[in-house]
Structure 1
């Protein structure tokens, strides 16, 4: 047993595979950066998966959605950090970015609501409407389509981390 890859209880920990840090102004300067960062990250972490192309496509889509959520922040200073870690068949995305208190509250409430038993109903209601997809719909899609688990961590007064665990290898084809 490799001590460094296990916690005090002997449980395997998530091992960091890649981290990208960007100035928020640079990140928000061009929408295409969301796609470029997600594609690059997916290719870097998918090479050793049994079906690397499938894994890369699924991961890239999920990460792109998360990056687009952060892209819509109304806080224009600081840094955005995206760390991808792995434990077994689960990939973890930790997306840290500055946001105003109202946005933090939105994310906390959205994550609380999407982890409930009504997630599928909320998702179906939101996608059947005439409105453009909201940030909540994006989070619901991750839970419904990717079997993701999500949580929000407050890092600082105006900084949060969205933590998303994606068990992509266990998803049916």
Structure 2
């Protein structure tokens, strides 16, 4: 008879909702960022402790991530987004076609969200009067939402972000 494993089974993130859209259509109107984030947030927040608060925070975070794809996306291909949940954490997985050479920019921007100087970089960036760039948006998610931002995969023409947001009970 075989040995019984003593290791606990790790729970997996469960998919809640996903959408995909033609990238050219997505990029045709800035309002798509807000419309999609509001819809997804309302759909997945109904069973949280404070659904309105959760929806507002989730919508803001997703909108910021969609804006990253809006500013750096290429009109070819598709944009894919899936929302997952594991206990008190929401996971966003966003894949989109990007302009040639963007992979290195995104790798550096994501690594800066984990750096010791992330807060200082963020505060310095938001103190200017310039519109926030994609790096600042990723720093905003990491600092203000305690999000874990990472890249899951990259190809020369596409990128996949994975963002874990511990929204339930951590933001007051």
* TM-score (norm. length: structure 2): 0.92
| Distance in 2 between residues matched to 1:9 and 1:27, nearest whole Å | 42
More helix by share: 1
Superposed, 1:1-173 pairs within 5 Å as 10-173=9-172
Indicate the structure (1 or 2) with the bigger Cα radius of gyration.
2
| Distance in 1 between residues matched to 2:9 and 2:158, nearest whole Å | 31
Instruction: Quote the RMSD (CA, aligned, Å).
Output: 1.4
Residues 89 and 74 from structure 1, CA distance in 2 versus in 1: closer, same or farther, beyond 3 angstroms? closer
| Distance in 2 between residues matched to 1:68 and 1:172, nearest whole Å | 22
| Distance in 1 between residues matched to 2:101 and 2:129, nearest whole Å | 25
Task: Specify the SS of the correspondent of 2:58.
Answer: helix
| Distance in 2 between residues matched to 1:105 and 1:9, nearest whole Å | 37
Which sections of structure 1, spanning at least 5 residues, go unmatched? 1-7
**Contact 2:145 2:171 (8 Å CA) reproduced:** no
Aligned length: 166
Which runs of at least 4 in structure 1 moved beyond 3 Å after TM superposition? none
Task: Specify the SS of the correspondent of 1:47.
Answer: coil
* TM-score (norm. length: structure 1): 0.91
